[in-house]
A = this chain, B = another copy of it.
Amino acid sequence: MTDQTECDRLDRRRRAFIEAARELFVRLGYERTTLGDIVDRAGGSLATVYKLFGNKEGILEVVVFEKASSGATLVREAAEKGGTPHEILHRLAVSFQAHFLDPEVVALVRIVIARSVSDKDFARRFFERTATRTLDSLQQLFADWQDRGIELNAPPHILAELFLGLFVSDVHADAISHRVGMDNSLERLRARTQFFVMGSGVLENKNANISFEGPNGL
């Protein structure tokens, strides 16, 4: 047997386990899904699970960190399209809402929070890879705007927290209430962007236009 085929076979198995585990973790939670469930769903055998992931925690680690992404990419994409700060913020709000309210993301957040009680380090790493990085890139965005002469009411890192908080609070509500009376309308989103624009002071720079974010500003 060549290394190649072996690698492929194992890899397919690995993928199957991960997909099955994610599906089950999301639906039942970590504690309530048993390794037996995962094997039943993915095929393969318990022995292979242990070979590939070491133990149950090992699968969780892989499942969570495969899905956990920061919003840095979203920030970059929204900024690159240019336009007024208000426009950029609105685009960003749309993609943040889509990302943070993805039911799978919310379910994983629930799992991480539950697990954080017994494994603080795990939760912290998750926080780093998601929130902290997103905050950093937002902060940078606002700092860039400041450098280009846009006046803001508060330091960039405070604004970054506030902007992200607009969406995090929804995630939190969703995590607890499981979408009772959740309103994801565009109107509501507009109101939030508007609110942030007013609160941050971006409004007064109405005609500022961020054409394209390059190494040398406008």
Give A contacts to B, CB under 8 Å.
Answer: 28-29, 31-32, 107, 109-114, 116-118, 120, 123-124, 126-127, 131, 153-154, 158, 161-162, 164-166, 168-173, 175-178, 180, 188, 191-192, 194-196, 198-201
Q: Please tell me if the beta carbons of A29 and B117 are within 8 angstroms of each other in the complex.
A: yes
Are B116 and A176 in touch, CB under 8 angstroms? Answer: yes
Is the pair B124, A162 in contact by a Cβ cutoff of 8 Å? Answer: no
Q: State the majority secondary structure of interface residues on A.
A: helix
Shortest C-beta distance, A45 to chain B (Å), equals 27
> Of all chain B residues, which has the CB nearest A28?
B117
Q: Is the CB of A112 within 8 A of B176?
A: yes
* Residue in B176, B188, B195 whose beta carbon sits within 8 Å of that of A127 in the complex: B176
A85 to chain B, nearest CB (A): 15
A164 contacts across to B, CB distance below 8 A: 169
User: Is the beta-carbon distance between B116 and A178 smaller than 8 angstroms?
Assistant: yes
Inside 8 A of A124's CB, which chain B residues have their CB?
176-178, 180
A153 B195 Cβ-Cβ under 8 A: yes
Q: Which residues of B contact A201 (CB under 8 A)?
A: 198
Contact of A165 among B169, B175, B180, B200 (CB under 8 A): B169
List B contacts of A127 (CB < 8 A). 173, 176-177, 180
| The residue from B153, B169, B194 contacting A169, defined by CB atoms under 8 A apart | B169
Tell whether, in the assembled complex, residue B199 and residue A195 are in contact, meaning their CB atoms are under 8 Å apart: yes
A196 and B194 within 8 A (CB): no
CA distance A45 to B73 in the complex (A): 56
